[in-house]
Amino acid sequence: MGTGVELQSIPDDAATQAFVSTLRGGAIQQGDIHYDVARKVYNAMIDRKPRLIVSCANVADVIRCVNFARDQGLAVAVRGGGHSVPGFGTCDDGLVIDLSGMKGIRVDPQRRVARFEAGCTWGDADHATHAFGLAAPGGIISSTGISGLTLGGGFGYLSRQYGLSCDNVVSMDVVTADGAYLSASGSENPDLFWALRGGGGNFGVVTSFEFRLHPVSTVYAGPVFYPLERSAEALRLYRDFMKTAPRALSAFFAFLIVPPGPPFPEHLHMKTLCGVMCVYCGDLSKGEDAVRPLLEFGPPAFAHVGPVPYPAVQSMFDPLLPAGLHHYWKADFVNDLTDEIIAEHVQRGPEIPTVNSAMHIYPFGGAVQDVARNDTAFTYRDAKYVHIIAAVSPDPAPMPQYRDWARNYWSALHPHSSGGSYVNFLMEEGEDRINASYQENYQRLAQIKRKYDPGNLFHINQNIKPAAW
Ligand SMILES: Cc1cc2nc3c(=O)[nH]c(=O)nc-3n(C[C@H](O)[C@H](O)[C@H](O)COP(=O)(O)OP(=O)(O)OC[C@H]3O[C@@H](n4cnc5c(N)ncnc54)[C@H](O)[C@@H]3O)c2cc1C
């Protein structure tokens, strides 16, 4: 019997009993006291019932899980931070490999690298590296897992300056479908390394990531909101602003409902506005000048910009998005914010249904484009923006109506899009959408899939089918 979260009951069959007895971490099955908590993922719309959830303590547990699932013909779901909105961190009647207990971190400030175990969230990573005035580019909500985010590409406030999260990975340790433990880097298994940088969880279970770090400590950042009547002008300002913005500046555009609490003034609570969240990660003394055009337009209904420790910016929106809300997302890349696209946003953005929901336009460009579209699995290097329409609610009852808002908004924008989406923002939208999101890299991914996972053991993801030839 393992340590950690102990098995509450003995599995019926001898094979599962023998497997569980070899684990250092815990295993939970249906009927156990912790089962209903352990099977939950971040998106409350997902309600799946795995046969077994293994909370892995180390690489040995991961290898045992992969071998057991393959030999028993069990479906495998891999869970890092559990944030996958389509719920790929769980499954019905299969084995969940839960990595969230594997949180080891070693920062090497001299070499400016850090190794993170696969269960770390961005909050864990930022906390550890901030002590040395360093950071790796990650996502904008601190509870998101480094694993799923990085494997799909990963972008955030530092990406225009330092690239996608996957661009900053130096090496990864991976357990492949045959139970082998490999290192993937520029010099070891480079085909696997290529595929893991954008190709998602298709190629094995990554047990740790070595990241390159950058000098980021205090940034100049915060939100600037404008009244809805100015939203067309604000979007045009944003478009022009981003065209000439320095790489050190990242800013996303949003339609939002103002949260009912500080730092927002009471007269704005629960009002629908539009706005820009900006982060300047360069020389602090230049931050104010960098964001000035956003402050001079309007006047803003609210602005709260200044020097902020990087981990505080990274967790600024966490309270709006706790685990357990109901999520439905639609997204696409776009090459420009044309007047036609702006007109759709101005019409549909103000109908945002809840304070937790969002329409965000995230900028790409800068260092993201320094990497060629075929240098990693992540293809859309030339996209200027990705927009996401996220219907989010604590209450499931109105979700069909909120989902329609997201779907209709997305459908109106889709003809103006680049055709594909960011894989980490896709729901279960079918093979054509996955194909469109990888474009010409899909075929190479399918070949690498055939080499490392010919039986498609890892299929609970934005699945790339093994090539037939
Ligand atoms: C609130 C919120 C904010 C977000 N913000 C951003 C953002 O700023 N930038 C951005 O780029 N994305 C963002 N995302 C999207 C995010 O990148 C994806 O949801 C991603 O899948 C989350 O990774 P995870 O480890 O938390 O998820 P999980 O659900 O644990 O994993 C998702 C899938 O990734 C694969 N996977 C996870 N871990 C491993 C592993 N160790 N080895 C192999 N495969 C693995 C599996 O297929 C798994 O099912 C956000 C998502 C949410 C919900």
Answer yes or no: is pLDDT of 222 > 80. Answer: yes
Which residues face 174 on adjacent strands?
182, 206
CB 254 within 8 A of CB 277: yes
Atom of ligand 1 nearest to the CA of 149: 17
Q: Which atom of ligand 1 is nearest to the CA of 42?
A: 53
The CA 367 to ligand 1 mean position distance, Å, reads 22
For ligand 1, pick from 53, 56, 59, 78 the residue to mutate: most ligand atoms within 8 Å of CB.
78
Atom 8 of ligand 1 has which residue's CA nearest to it? 139
CB burial readout 345-364, b (16+ within 10 A) else e? bbebbbebbbbbbbbbbbbb
Residue bearing the CA closest to ligand 1, atom 52: 83
* pLDDT the model gives residue 2: 44
Spacing, Cα 71 to ligand 1 middle (Å)? 27
Q: Residue 299 in 3-state DSSP? A: coil
On the question of pLDDT at 216 being above 60, the answer is yes
Cα separation of 359 and 344, whole Å?
A: 12
Encoding tokens for residue 132? Answer: 């040395």
Q: Is the CB of 151 under 6 A from ligand 1?
A: yes
Predicted confidence at residue 11, as pLDDT, reads: 74
The tally of CA atoms less than 13 A away on the side-chain side of residue 77 is 28
Three-state DSSP at 215 gives strand
Report phi then psi at 196, rounded to 5. Answer: -75, -15
Q: Which band of pLDDT confidence, cut at 50, 70 and 90, is reported for residue 370?
A: very high
Say what the pLDDT of residue 209 is.
Answer: 99
What tens digit of pLDDT does each residue of 25-80 get? 999 999 899 999 999 999 999 999 999 999 999 999 999 999 999 999 999 999 99
- Residue whose CB lies within 8 A of the most ligand 1 atoms, among 424, 453, 456, for a mutation test: 424
Cβ 387 vs Cβ 334: under 8 Å? yes
Q: Tell me: pLDDT of 6 over 60.
A: no
**pLDDT classification of 8: cutoffs 50, 70, 90:** low
Which of 213, 216, 217 minimizes the C-alpha distance to 112? 213
d(CA 233, CA 386): 20
Mean pLDDT of 432-438: 96
- How high is the pLDDT of residue 281? 98
Residue among 147, 329, 393, 458 to mutate when testing ligand 1 (max atoms within 8 A of CB): 147
- pLDDT at res. 68: 98
* Ligand 1 center to 342 CA (angstroms): 29
Cα(285) to centroid(ligand 1), Å? 34
pLDDT digits (tens, 9 = 90+) for 126-155: 999 999 999 999 999 999 999 999 999 999
With tokens 């908590």, the residue in question is 37
DSSP string, 327-339: EEEEEEEES---H
Q: Residue 356 in contact with residue 321, Cβ under 8 Å?
A: yes
Closest residue to atom 19 of ligand 1, CA basis? 84
- 78 Cβ below 6 A of ligand 1: yes
**Rounded mean pLDDT, 233-261:** 97
277 touches ligand 1 (CB under 6 Å): no
What confidence score (pLDDT) does residue 1 get?
A: 40
Q: Check whether 168 has a pLDDT greater than 90.
A: yes
Residue minimizing CA distance to atom 11 of ligand 1: 154
Please determine, for residue 425, whether its predicted confidence score (pLDDT) is greater than 70: yes
**Closest Cα to residue 288, out of 303, 270, 302, 273?**
303
Q: What is the mean pLDDT of the chain?
A: 96
Residue 33: both structure tokens together: 């006291």
State whether residue 4 is helix, strand or coil. coil
Cβ partners under 8 Å of residue 264, min gap 6: 258, 302
Over residues 105-134, the pLDDT tens digits come to: 999 999 999 999 999 999 999 999 999 999
Mean pLDDT score, 407-420: 97
Reported as type and span, the H/E element at residue 57 is: none
Q: Is 86 in the pocket of ligand 1 (CB under 6 A)?
A: no
Q: Which atom of ligand 1 is nearest to the CA of 140?
A: 8
Phi and psi for 195 in degrees, rounded to 5?
-70, -35
The answer on pLDDT for 5 being more than 50 is no
Q: Is residue 364 lining ligand 1, measured as CB closer than 6 Å?
A: no
Looking at beta carbons, which pairs linking 442-450 to residues 24 or more positions away fall under 8 Å?
443/467, 444/194, 444/195, 444/377, 445/195, 445/199, 445/202, 445/377, 448/191, 448/192, 448/194, 448/195, 448/199, 448/203, 449/195, 449/202, 449/203
- How far apart are the CA of 77 and the centre of ligand 1, in A? 13
Q: Is the CB of 83 under 6 A from ligand 1?
A: yes
Contact (CB, 8 A) for 130 and 310: yes
Confidence bin at 12 (pLDDT 50/70/90): confident
Ligand 1 mean position, distance from CA 38 (Å): 18
DSSP letters spanning 374-411: TTSS---TT-SEEEEEEEEES-STTHHHHHHHHHHHHH
* Mean pLDDT of all residues in 198-204: 98
Size of the chain, expressed as the number of residues it contains: 469
For ligand 1, atom 35: residue with the closest CA: 201
Could you tell me what percent of the chain has a pLDDT over 70? 98
pLDDT for the residue numbered 220 = 98
